[in-house]
Amino acid sequence: MKMIKYLISAAAALTLLMLSAGAEASGFIFKYSDDAPQPPVFDFEAEYFDMNIYFTDDEAGILRLAEKGYIDYYERDAEVSLPDDPVPEVSPAALPNDGIRAEHQMNYEFKLTNALGILNNNIAVGDSPSLRGQGVRVGVIDTGIGQNHPDINYEKVTQYDVFTRKAVANDTKGHGTAVAGVIAAVTDNEIGLASLAPEAELVVVKVYQDGVQTTSTSNILKGIQYAVAEGCDVINISSGMGEINDTGFRSMGEYIDKISEEYGIIVIASAGNHDEKRDPDPYPSDSELSYPAAWENVISVAAIDDSGNRAWFSYHNMEVDTTACGLNVQVLTRTGGYGTNSGTSFSAPFISSVAALVKQIDRSVDVNRFRTLLELTSVDVGQKGKDASFGYGIVDVGAMIDYLLDAANSISVGEIQQSDSEFSVTVVNSANEPVELIDSWSSDFNGQASSESRTVTVQPGENVLTYSGMGDIRHFVWLKESIRPLCPVQTAKYYPEEM
């Protein structure tokens, strides 16, 4: 298990802060103690985030709180950057501005014929006409989005700029537009690019200021929090930082832990890029880490080239979970055209689009289960098993979707059995992993109705679910937060003789 230990207590941090030169960003993030007097009234200006985390420029103010023992920790707001793109965006005129289509997009062509099958065959799931990310919200914490692109469906885009606090996130760099297009470019509209999740709703949060190439941990944190408030199921962060000690990452990391564990949000980030060309050694020693990608509750996405080798720039370390094409990725440009970009910034959003499809099928899939799905269904390449270059391997979207649908089909529910006033059903889980179900019972005895709905985890094999009651009994099971019911309603009657 990956663990980052924070050894910096509030008191020790004082020393470290004085010693450290610090990064470009200014200000401090601090965690007001849950045990301290509430609500906090500060004698300095502080901006509330969430989880009792605040931002302020006033270090002296923090020190006063620290002396009273009111804060758990504080940390310097630090610089976060877009990974350096190893290949700059080419002129849009160098590429056709229409008809690029899926067959020229390496992420579809390479080992992903099943993905193309999904695009072309519109697999029906429940009430949804097809599996294209309908009803799923994907946060894009980036540089914003171009405001006039024919391959973006703006009706499905929510925008926010953390600097202006307005609902327009105009992209002046191009990075965010490229990332957004990989996830959800309009598909089957005869122009430009295709994507896996064109019906997903994007929540594009601009966390980079115009004319500045870097941002700060507090801005990324604000972006994540906005995406969470907007109900995102998946959050893509194609940014990173190399060091997390005394960098303001603790609060971000703890927040990511909270949203992944409590809300089931899947956070996906770029593994990071080298800034100088190296030979793509297939079995390299570990490279640096980039955060948040290397954080345990984040899916770290590396990059392959068009031959399936590790892209020369891609970070390789044991925190890498998966990989996708990141060399010469066809992207949307902020000015409304098309171009190519390279970098893990553009492989990560492909995995975010995959996660959107997974969430469409089963909302209960969290980061741990998504990682398990990657392990179970990816095409293993490179060293056998999970490795530093490819993680669990190259995603096979079709196999993952099939696996998920099979998991839904793996549940069979027996008829209601009765013994005295207790009822039971036997649920058989023929998958090889536990499945979460909503187990609902109701009874109606001479007009007195009662019902119970509970979440149960059914282990592989036979599981017996029991309930007490009498009268007309009804029972049914749903895959948790899924659009797929698992069985018809079962009914039974129990009216004791003596009543």
What residues are labeled active site? Answer: 142, 175, 345
Contact code string over 26-65 relative to Ca ion, x by CB under 5 A: ----------------------------------------
Tokens standing for residue 459: 């282990």
In the complex with Ca ion, the residue whose CB is nearer, 189 or 424, is 189
Which residue type, as a one-letter code, is found at position 3? M
Residue 380 touching Ca ion (CB under 5 A): yes
396 binds Ca ion (CB under 5 A): no
Residue 387 CB, shortest distance to Ca ion, in Å, is 4
Whether 374 and 351 have beta carbons less than 8 Å apart is answered as no
**DSSP states of 192-241 as a string?**
S---S-TTSEEEEEE-S-TT-SEEEHHHHHHHHHHHHHTT-SEEEE--BB
β-strands 329-332, 448-458: how paired?
A: unpaired
* Binding string, residues 335-374; x marks residues near Ca ion by CB under 5 A: ----------------------------------------
Q: How far is CA 199 from CA 62, 142, 304, in A?
A: 45, 20, 26
382 forms part of the interface with Ca ion (CB under 5 A): yes
- The span from the CA of 175 to the CA of 169, in Å, is 12
In this complex, which beta carbon is closest to Ca ion, that of residue 198 or of residue 398?
198
Binding residue count for Ca ion, defined by CB under 5 A: 7
What H or E segment, with its residue span, contains residue 255?
A: helix 249-262
Residue span 136-165 as binding mask against Ca ion, x where in contact by CB under 5 A, dash where not: ---------------x--------------
Contact assessment for residue 1 and residue 62, using Cβ atoms and an 8 Å cutoff: no
Q: Is residue 266 a contact partner of residue 233, using CB atoms and an 8 Å limit? A: yes
The nearest distance, CB 268 to Ca ion, in angstroms, is 19
Contacts with Ca ion, 169-198, as mask; x by CB under 5 A: -----------------x--x--x------
| Beta carbon nearer to Ca ion, 192 or 292 | 192
Question: Footprint of Ca ion on residues 426-455 (CB under 5 A)?
Answer: none
Partners of 443 in beta bridges: 450, 473
Q: Does 387 bind Ca ion (CB under 5 A)?
A: yes
Interacting span for Ca ion (CB under 5 A) from 60-68, 84-92, 381-389, 423-431: 381-389
Helix (H, G, I), strand (E, B) or coil at 435: strand
Q: Residue 370 is encoded by which pair of tokens?
A: 């998504």
Residue 363 is given by DSSP the state T
By CB under 5 A, name the binding residues for Ca ion.
Answer: 151, 186, 189, 192, 380, 382, 387
